[in-house]
Amino acid sequence: MEFLEVIRKRKTTNGPFLDRPVSREHQHLLMEAASRAPSHFNSQPWRFILIEDRAKREKIAEIGGRTMQQLIADGRFFERYRPYFRFSEKEMAERRDGILIDQLPGPLRPFTRQVMSPSALGLLRALRVPQILGEDNRKLVASSPLLLAALLDKQEYRPGELSGFYSVLGLGMAIENIWLTTVELGMGIQFVSTPMEIPEAWEEIKRLLEVPEHLELMAIYRLGYLPPDNPRPRIDWKSDQRKRISQFVFRDSCATPESDT
């Protein structure tokens, strides 16, 4: 595939993957791509765990579903991410950022805006939205043939110091390389971030993965091959919109937005 085409096609996969293991060859290609990322002084501070073991995947899925349900039910999710919810194509076209909630089960559709708002927590709970989202998430993670944990070596990852920032930058670039390579391999990838929003849940995963004291667990992803039809979860969103150049680029100083043409 053309390189720019790969960049334009890169996206988050919200739906299920094929029930087929990711070949060892492809797993190692993903890791090679990660290792080609730049890092300060070529320190390569990233570490990865390729998780295929079914019991471990199911446990992480259970924690993912539970934390998703918890975060939605207690309102934390909406409190944190409310500014990014869009409810119509028109709103999305104006802002050109955030996520458009474009898929809800039939009975919820008339309440789209209310369903995703902190003031409607009671309604949300009555409509069992936290359970639906939690259970859908658990199933998606459990049925993913490969989970990937990204870690940093604490010798370099020292939060608050420049080396901490450099390490996070390097890991981000390594993950982007993995993400782009999934496009080439007919695979998909999705961040599983709800466990890291609840410290006790994150600790549970660290114990499960036997993360040693000198490493920091930074993120978890689910990966697999993409099915030809792209079935979507019951509650879903899309986020393919991007800001115009004039909305995020300046020319020479922050006083002059770059023109779009």
Ligand X SMILES: Cc1cc2nc3c(=O)[nH]c(=O)nc-3n(C[C@H](O)[C@H](O)[C@H](O)COP(=O)(O)O)c2cc1C
Residues that bind ligand X (CB under 6 A): 11-12, 14, 99, 190-191, 193, 239
CB atoms within 10 A of CB 93: 11
Supply the minimum distance, in Å, between the C-beta of residue 15 and ligand X: 11
Considering the complex, state which of residue 58 and residue 176 has its C-beta at the smaller distance from ligand X.
176
Supply the minimum distance, in Å, between the C-beta of residue 175 and ligand X: 8
C-alpha 101/C-alpha 88 separation (Å) is 8
β-pair partners for 103: 236
Supply the minimum distance, in Å, between the C-beta of residue 73 and ligand X: 17
Supply the minimum distance, in Å, between the C-beta of residue 187 and ligand X: 14
Considering the complex, state which of residue 11 and residue 232 has its C-beta at the smaller distance from ligand X.
11
Supply the minimum distance, in Å, between the C-beta of residue 24 and ligand X: 26
Considering the complex, state which of residue 14 and residue 39 has its C-beta at the smaller distance from ligand X.
14
Considering the complex, state which of residue 83 and residue 107 has its C-beta at the smaller distance from ligand X.
83
C-alpha 70/C-alpha 12 separation (Å) is 23
Considering the complex, state which of residue 70 and residue 193 has its C-beta at the smaller distance from ligand X.
193
H-helix or E-strand spanning residue 89? helix 89-95
Considering the complex, state which of residue 27 and residue 190 has its C-beta at the smaller distance from ligand X.
190
β-pair partners for 153: 215
Give the angle subtended at the CA of 88 by the CAs of 136 and 259, to the nearest 5°. Answer: 115
Ranges assigned E (strand) in 123-176: 146-153
- Give just the sign of the alpha carbon dihedral 29, 206, 37, 240: positive
What angle do helix axes 199-208 and 54-73 make, rounded to 10 degrees?
180
Considering the complex, state which of residue 18 and residue 219 has its C-beta at the smaller distance from ligand X.
219
Supply the minimum distance, in Å, between the C-beta of residue 197 and ligand X: 9
* Distance in angstroms between the alpha carbons of the first and the last residue of the chain: 27
CA distances, 140 to each of 77, 129, 186, 191, 196 (Å): 19, 16, 18, 12, 17
